[in-house]
Amino acid sequence: MGSVKNHLTKSLKDRVEDYLRFKPQTRGSDRLLIASIWEQESWGATKNELLESLVDGTLSNPESIRRQRQLLQKEYPELRGTNQAHRKADEQEIREMVRA
């Protein structure tokens, strides 16, 4: 994933894609993905400094992280989590139940 300073030069989309590719557990958890990116962005910060960064907006917007994940998973199906397959199967089962 590169150095800690990488987040200064890589776009958010690139960083989200790196996590989805190299840390597969982030594929099915926006919370873990957001926490991982914020950890990278605030490396070495104290808890208070982290909270200040969150308040003053120097950490990536969580909605932007979620949206980038969504767009990347739509474009690259291999980056989807295992939950997606289960949801698709459940969707079909529910549709059949509603039709009955």
Q: Which two tokens stand for residue 55?
A: 């308040």
pLDDT of residue 85: 60
Domain-by-domain residue ranges, the chain? 4-99
Is residue 9 over pLDDT 70? no
pLDDT of residue 87: 65
Q: Which two tokens stand for residue 15?
A: 């960083």
Q: Which two tokens stand for residue 67?
A: 């949206």
pLDDT of residue 84: 61
pLDDT of residue 81: 86
Identify which has the larger pLDDT, 22 or 5. 22
Question: pTM for this structure?
Answer: 0.74
Q: What is the pLDDT of residues 20-66, one digit of tens each?
A: 999 999 999 999 999 999 999 999 999 999 999 999 999 999 999 99
Helices 12-22 and 62-75 pack at an angle, to 10 degrees, of 60
